[in-house]
Amino acid sequence: MNILVAGGAGFIGSHTCVALIEAGHSVVVADNLCNSSVKALEGVEQITGMKPTFYQIDVTDESAVEAMFSDNRFDGVIHFAGHKAVGESVFEPLKYYQNNVLSTVVLAKACLSHGVNRFVFSSSATVYGANRSPLTEDMPLLPTENPYGETKVMSERILIDTAKAAPTLSVALLRYFNPVGAHESGLIGESSRIEPTNLMPRVILAALGKIQKLMIFGEDYPTSDGTAIRDYIHVMDLAEGHVAAINHPTPGVSITNLGTGKGTSVLELIHAFEKANGVAVPYELTERRPGDLAECYADTQKAKKEFGFSAKRSIMEMCKDAWNFEQKSK
C-alpha cells in the first residue's frame, strides 16, 4: 500500500515509516518540521534503503493537503501530526486546539473526497482520565484536565462521527501508553525542540549530567515502592502496532490500546536504565506532580484479538536503545 504518514518526521512517525517500509509498503511523509528535522527522514533512508517522498507542509493547510492528495494515490493515512506538550497546552490552549483538531478535520476531509478508506489516528491513554488500570477500551472517557488531552478526545469524536456518515471509511483510534526507546541502529530516536518533561528524556539528561538530578514526583503512592507506575512501550513495538492496524482495517471505528500491559514504577525504570547502560542516574524523591495518577497501564487483549499485535521488547531494550540514540546523535 501507499501510506501517507502525517507527522512522519517526528518520534513515533519516523519509526513507523521504518516499520511500514520493512512490511513492504511505500511511504509519503507530510510534516512542517515544527518539532522535528529532515535528519529523521535521512535516518529512515539509511535504515531501510528507501527514501520517503517528503512534503514539507502544514496539514492544517487545506489547499496544500488537497494538492498533495491530488498528486498521489493513497491507500491509507496515519495521522501523527500534532503538538504534544501537556504543560504548554495549558498556557497556549488555542495553539493546541487549532493544530491538533484542525489537522484531523482537514486530513479526514481529504480522505473522503479522494476515496481513501483507511485512517489511523494517534490517540493517547490520557483520554481515560482517572479510570482505574488496567484500562480497557470500553471504559467511559473521563476529563483529561488539560487542552492537549481534550484535543485527543475531540479528534476521536470527530473521526467517530465521520465514519458513521461514511460507511466505507475504516478508522483505527490507537491509544498509546508511554512510548520510549529508539530504533536499535541509533539512527532515529526521540528529539524535541522544546525542553522535555517526560520521564525517559529527563532520565537521559540526568545520566548526561545536564541536569543535576532527576526529580522523582511522588514517593507515597500506593504502589510497591511508592513511585508511580506507567506502561512504557518500545517505540518500535508501537510502530509495528500501526502496521498491524493499517493491515487489518475493521468496518467503522476500532479503538485499541497500544501498551505492553505491564506496569513499571519510576524507580524500576531508573534502575533498569542504570543496569542496561552502566551509568548512574542521580535522583531525588520529591512532591507529587499535580494531576498525576498512581497507576496507568493497558489491558492489551483487544490489540491481540483484533490486530494480532503484542509488544515484544523489554524495559532493558527500551533503556538501551534510548541511550544508544543519545550517544550516536551527539
Taking the alpha carbons at both ends of the chain, their separation in whole angstroms is 35
Stretch that binds ligand UD1, among 39-47, 54-62, 96-104, 123-131 (CB under 6 A): 123-131
Helix (H, G, I), strand (E, B) or coil at 35: coil
Helix (H, G, I), strand (E, B) or coil at 301: helix
How many helices (H) and strands (E) the chain has is answered by 12, 14
* Region of residue 275 (phi > 0: left; psi between -120 and 50: alpha; otherwise: beta): alpha
Report d(CA 128, CA 137) in Å as an integer.
9
Stretch that binds ligand NAD, among 52-60, 131-139, 160-168, 278-286 (CB under 6 A): 52-60
**Which of the choices ligand NAD, ligand UD1, none does residue 35 contact, using the CB cut-off of 5 to 8 A by kind?**
ligand NAD
Closest among 152, 131, 140, 141 to 89, alpha carbons compared = 152
198 binds ligand UD1 (CB under 6 A): yes
Distances (CA, A) of 51 to 14, 21, 29, 132, 252: 12, 10, 10, 43, 32
**Which of the choices ligand UD1, ligand NAD, none does residue 223 contact, using the CB cut-off of 5 to 8 A by kind?**
none
60 binds ligand NAD (CB under 6 A): yes
Residue pair 193/88 in contact by the 8 Å Cβ criterion: no
List b or e across 213-232, with b for residues whose CB sees 16 or more CB atoms inside 10 angstroms. Answer: ebebbbbebebeebbbbbbb
259 binds ligand NAD (CB under 6 A): no
Give whichever of 141 and 285 is closer to ligand NAD, judged by the CB atom: 141
Sheet holding 252-258, edge to edge: 53-55, 26-30, 2-6, 76-79, 118-124, 170-176, 252-258
Give whichever of 91 and 209 is closer to ligand NAD, judged by the CB atom: 91
User: How many chain residues bind ligand UD1 (CB under 6 A)?
Assistant: 21
**Which of the choices ligand NAD, ligand UD1, none does residue 3 contact, using the CB cut-off of 5 to 8 A by kind?**
none
Residue in the shown chain whose Cβ atom is closest to ligand NAD: 10
Give whichever of 151 and 162 is closer to ligand UD1, judged by the CB atom: 151
**Which of the choices ligand NAD, ligand UD1, none does residue 217 contact, using the CB cut-off of 5 to 8 A by kind?**
ligand UD1
Give whichever of 170 and 260 is closer to ligand UD1, judged by the CB atom: 260
Closest among 25, 29, 31 to 2, alpha carbons compared = 25
Among 3, 19, 32, 246, binds ligand NAD (CB under 6 A): 32
Report d(CA 248, CA 250) in Å as an integer.
6
141 binds ligand UD1 (CB under 6 A): no
Q: How far is the CB of 182 from ligand NAD (least distance, A)?
A: 12
Residue with cell 498512581: 294
**Which of the choices ligand NAD, ligand UD1, none does residue 82 contact, using the CB cut-off of 5 to 8 A by kind?**
ligand NAD
Give whichever of 55 and 96 is closer to ligand UD1, judged by the CB atom: 96
In the structure grid, which three cell numbers stand for residue 273, read together?
A: 536504565
Active-site residue list: 148
31 binds ligand NAD (CB under 6 A): yes
Closest among 263, 262, 257, 266 to 238, alpha carbons compared = 257
Q: How far is the CB of 296 from ligand UD1 (least distance, A)?
A: 6
Residues that bind ligand NAD (CB under 6 A): 7, 9-13, 30-36, 58-60, 80-82, 84, 99, 103, 122, 124, 176, 179
Residues that bind ligand UD1 (CB under 6 A): 86, 124-126, 149, 178, 197-199, 202, 214-217, 228, 230, 266, 289, 291-292, 296
